[in-house]
């Protein structure tokens, strides 16, 4: 029983990170209809900024805040400088540009920070809490991971639901032309959207790095899982991204925890889950059934 709870918690924790990464993809897809393949290496870049600060003697928390802020700046700059010129052109152009950016940023990280393995700290322990003398599988680190992703998601929901700028961002995402005719400065909203998405992506990169090693390509596995999670959810739905991430996290954790030689099956399981979901619901679990008419 303990083992099952442990595997489940591991799955939820990993799933939360996949959710965050998937959410970053969905936010950009919704507003600009671009699949941002560079999200992973953008997040890796900010993790290395955090690592440099930590190695220079700063606390984890200072490094975290600076990394998230630089994620925002990086996302905004990428949209303004690199994406804006190809927006409105053939859809494939933007996708190729993000792929190129993925490779370029990864190479940039290797040039600036080196390509060796470096350990990345975690602010909390990985030993389970003690309740009444027995150790439970819930660790401070998993609590931190789940809590920080939930906090960021709650802040995003609050922004989109309850603020004027959030409404302007949603209007711009759903219908650029109508939003512009209504006086919404759509360009600024898109930049803001890319910045926020990059913050969420950066958070996932920092969380997955915690307590393990990082190297320029350390995000590659997360990129795959994040994409699978986003597509399971429907790519268009933030809720779908979160649910997709959790489903994937749990499923992969059960596979690796229970199947014989399970850890070797993790990657192929992700693919199987993706195929099954797409066969049953080709648009993803949370795809909206209403056609865009506006």
The per-residue DSSP string of 69-111 comes to HHHHHHHHHIIIIIIGGGTTS-HHHHHHHHHHHHHHHHHHHHH
Residue 184 or 252: the one with the smaller Cβ distance to other proteins is 184
Q: Could you say which residues in the range 15-44 bind other proteins, by CB under 8 A? A: none
Residue 165 or 276: the one with the smaller Cβ distance to other proteins is 165
Residue 89 is a binding residue for other proteins (CB under 8 A):
no
Helix runs in 163-219, H state only: 164-174, 176-181, 186-209
DSSP state letter for 158: H
Residue 222 or 241: the one with the smaller Cβ distance to other proteins is 241
Residue 24 CB-density burial (10 A; 0-12 exposed, 13-18 middle, 19+ buried): buried
Binding mask 261-280 for other proteins (x = CB under 8 A): --------------------
Residue 179 is a binding residue for other proteins (CB under 8 A):
yes
Q: What phi and psi values does residue 223 have, to the nearest 5 degrees?
A: -60, -45
Residue 157 is a binding residue for other proteins (CB under 8 A):
no
Q: Could you say which residues in the range 206-235 bind other proteins, by CB under 8 A? A: none
Residue 130 or 177: the one with the smaller Cβ distance to other proteins is 177
Token pair for 53? 């600060």
Residue 40 or 193: the one with the smaller Cβ distance to other proteins is 193
Token pair for 37? 């393949």
The residues, ordered by sequence, that sit 6+ positions from 242 with a Cβ below 8 Å of its Cβ are 19, 22, 23, 153, 233
Q: E strand or H helix at 135, and its extent? A: strand 134-135
Sign of CA dihedral 108, 16, 221, 173: negative
Q: Which of 7, 186, 197, 274 binds other proteins (CB under 8 A)?
A: 186
Q: Which of 80, 180, 211, 266 binds other proteins (CB under 8 A)?
A: 180
Residue 166 or 211: the one with the smaller Cβ distance to other proteins is 166
Residue 112 or 182: the one with the smaller Cβ distance to other proteins is 182
Residue 168 is a binding residue for other proteins (CB under 8 A):
yes
Q: Which of 162, 164, 261, 279 binds other proteins (CB under 8 A)?
A: 164
CB of 236 to other proteins, least distance (A): 10
Q: Interface with other proteins by CB under 8 A: which range of 87-95, 130-138, 174-182, 202-210?
A: 174-182
Of 230, 223, 209, nearest in space to 274 by CA: 230
Q: Can you give the C-alpha Rg of the chain in angstroms?
A: 19
Residue 127 is a binding residue for other proteins (CB under 8 A):
no
Of 220, 272, 253, nearest in space to 109 by CA: 220
Residues of this chain that bind other proteins (CB under 8 A): 164, 167-168, 170-171, 174-175, 177-186, 288, 290, 292-294
């Amino acid at each position: 029983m303990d083992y099952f709870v442990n595997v489940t918690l591991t799955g939820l924790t990993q799933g939360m990170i996949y959710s965050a990464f998937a959410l970053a993809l969905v936010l950009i897809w919704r507003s600009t209809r671009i699949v941002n393949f560079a999200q992973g290496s953008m997040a890796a870049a900010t993790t290395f900024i955090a690592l440099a600060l930590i190695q220079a003697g700063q606390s984890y928390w200072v490094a975290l805040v600076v990394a998230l802020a630089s994620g925002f700046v990086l996302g905004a700059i990428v949209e303004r400088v690199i994406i804006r010129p190809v927006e409105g052109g053939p859809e494939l152009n933007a996708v190729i540009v993000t792929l190129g950016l993925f490779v370029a940023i990864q190479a940039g990280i290797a040039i600036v920070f080196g390509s060796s393995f470096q350990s990345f700290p975690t602010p909390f322990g990985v030993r389970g809490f003690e309740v009444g003398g027995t150790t439970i599988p819930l660790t401070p680190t998993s609590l931190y991971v789940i809590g920080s992703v939930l906090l960021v998601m709650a802040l995003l929901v609050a922004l989109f639901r309850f603020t004027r700028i959030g409404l302007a961002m949603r209007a711009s995402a759903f219908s650029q032309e109508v939003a512009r005719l209504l006086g919404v400065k759509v360009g600024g909203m898109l930049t803001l959207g890319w910045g926020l998405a990059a913050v969420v992506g950066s958070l996932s990169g920092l969380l997955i790095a915690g307590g393990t090693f990082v190297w320029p390509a350390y995000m590659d596995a997360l990129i795959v899982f994040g994409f699978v999670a986003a597509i399971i959810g429907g790519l268009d739905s933030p809720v779908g991204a979160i649910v997709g991430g959790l489903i994937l996290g749990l499923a992969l954790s059960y596979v690796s925890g229970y199947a014989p030689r399970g850890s070797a099956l993790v990657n192929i399981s992700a693919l199987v889950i993706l195929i099954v979901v797409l066969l049953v619901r080709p648009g993803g679990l949370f795809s909206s059934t209403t056609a865009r008419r506006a």
